[in-house]
Amino acid sequence: MLFPGLSTGGPLTATGLHGEIDKALTDCYDAPKFILREGDVMRRLLILFVVLTVASFASAAVAQVSLDKAKAEGKATFYANITAVEPIIADFSKKYGVKGEYTRISTSKFVATVATEHGAGKLLADVLQAPMPILEILKDKGILASYKSPSVAGYPEWTKKDDKIQMFGIEYVCLLYNKDLVKPADVPKRYEDITDPKWKGKLVMADPSTHATTISWLIGLKERVFKSEEAWMKFVKGLAANKPMFVNSFGPTPAPIESGEKHLAISMPKYIITKAPAPLDWARVEQPMLGTPRGMAITAAAPHPNAARLFVDYWMSQDAMKVLAEKVGEYVLRPGIYPPVAGIDKAKVIAIRELSDDEIKKWGGEFKKIFEVP
């Protein structure tokens, strides 16, 4: 045996290495000090050094093999409801030499698009990103694969829901306004302020009958902000009475605000960054900001499974989260990272609960009636 005390009875796996490390540490520190001779201590420390060195090389070798397989596959195809992620896709491709292909699908069309392609055996996506309620529906349909990325270390425990979906951010919702058109005195201070008749015909929002995140946000207000169902329903009906313009998702909400066609949107603060230098700002309401958690998952029949795992590992990393926050304006869940939107680091942001598919359908139908959606 080259190094006394180091087991070499089989292949050196990651699990085996952890066992050797634990044994070496136990040998060094658990025995009473008065019976350890100097030679024993040095021998055991040498064993520990060798085990750690071999572990480092083994991990590097495994990572290289995985990267080589990902490169051989050539690309990772990414379906997402998130917008303006070109900087993070470019950084992934540059860093690893594996092409990232991004297809944007609106929240309202996400389940239908993915489920239809999957059912026909033609799902091209390796990786999916969507609000948690959407991913839960797809998980129940058997479309997601199990994968626990090593990059999730450091995230809050509540974000690690299961081995198929990993949360990384919150699709936080705000009242976005044109600061050239809205006077400081008129900027809403509470959500109820947008029910004032002075906003009639000046609002834009995602369709509350089909947009899952908007439906979840409205229900989140009911459960987390308003003190009674009566007060909440008064807000919903007051908002409906102001006849908002409806669009398919949050993505199109900034355009009519930028142009001056509308003055205020139920939207996201990220557009202050991605649409700069447009005259956009967000209303610092007294109540908490609410949002639906965003998640990542690999598809069960991913055409490029190794590239998919590499992409998820990168996306969940510290470096990628910085890009996502700083260049895309996303509110991420890796501690200490915030988008460069004034005041966001001091905002109280609450992740609202995941609505079931049945709840989304039920409330979508209710809001269709209340808002008189065509």
Question: Residue 282: which CATH number?
Answer: 3.40.190.10
- Quick one: CA torsion of 17, 22, 23, 24, rounded to 10 degrees? 90
Confidence of residue 326 (pLDDT cuts 50, 70, 90): very high
- Write out the two tokens for 135: 């991913």
Output the pLDDT for position 356.
86
Residues 178 and 200 in one domain: yes
Output the pLDDT for position 47.
53
Amino acid at 177: Y
**Is the residue at 340 inside a domain?**
no
**Is 29 or 50 the better-scoring residue by pLDDT?**
50
pLDDT digits (tens, 9 = 90+) for 245-257: 999 999 999 999 9
Nearest Cα neighbor of 252 from 374, 81, 90, 130 is 81
Residues 156 and 174 in one domain: no
Output the pLDDT for position 353.
87
- Write out the two tokens for 308: 């998919």
Beta carbons within 8 Å of 3's beta carbon, 6+ residues apart: 46, 47, 50
**Is the residue at 345 inside a domain?**
no
- Write out the two tokens for 238: 């007051």
58: pLDDT strictly greater than 60 = no
Output the pLDDT for position 318.
95
- What's the whole-number average pLDDT of the chain? 86
Residues 160 and 252 in one domain: no
Output the pLDDT for position 49.
54
Residues 254 and 194 in one domain: yes
pLDDT digits (tens, 9 = 90+) for 153-185: 999 999 987 999 999 999 999 999 999 999 999
Output the pLDDT for position 33.
38
Residues 159 and 175 in one domain: no
- Domains: count for the chain: 3
**Is the residue at 314 inside a domain?**
yes
pLDDT digits (tens, 9 = 90+) for 197-211: 999 999 999 999 999
Output the pLDDT for position 226.
97
Residues 231 and 363 in one domain: yes
**Is the residue at 9 inside a domain?**
no
Residues 91 and 148 in one domain: yes
Nearest Cα neighbor of 304 from 101, 63, 130 is 101
Confidence of residue 45 (pLDDT cuts 50, 70, 90): low
Residues 180 and 268 in one domain: yes
**Is the residue at 111 inside a domain?**
yes
37: pLDDT strictly greater than 60 = no
Output the pLDDT for position 295.
96
**Is the residue at 342 inside a domain?**
no
Per mean pLDDT, which range of 113-122, 203-212, 259-268, 350-359 is the poorest? 350-359
Residues 176 and 154 in one domain: no
**Is the residue at 6 inside a domain?**
no
Residue-range definition of the domain harbouring residue 210 = 170-291+352-370
320: pLDDT strictly greater than 60 = yes
Residues 198 and 142 in one domain: no
Quote the Cα angle for 332-137-86, to 5°.
40
Residues 65 and 145 in one domain: no
pTM passes above 0.85: no
68: pLDDT strictly greater than 50 = yes
Domain boundary among 49, 69, 89: 69
What span, in angstroms and rounded, lies between the C-alpha atoms of 87 and 328?
Answer: 8
**Is the residue at 287 inside a domain?**
yes
51: pLDDT strictly greater than 50 = no
Output the pLDDT for position 4.
34
85: pLDDT strictly greater than 60 = yes
Residues 267 and 300 in one domain: no
Mean pLDDT over 238-246 rounds to 98
What span, in angstroms and rounded, lies between the C-alpha atoms of 314 and 47?
Answer: 33
pLDDT digits (tens, 9 = 90+) for 332-367: 999 999 999 999 989 999 999 888 889 999 999 999
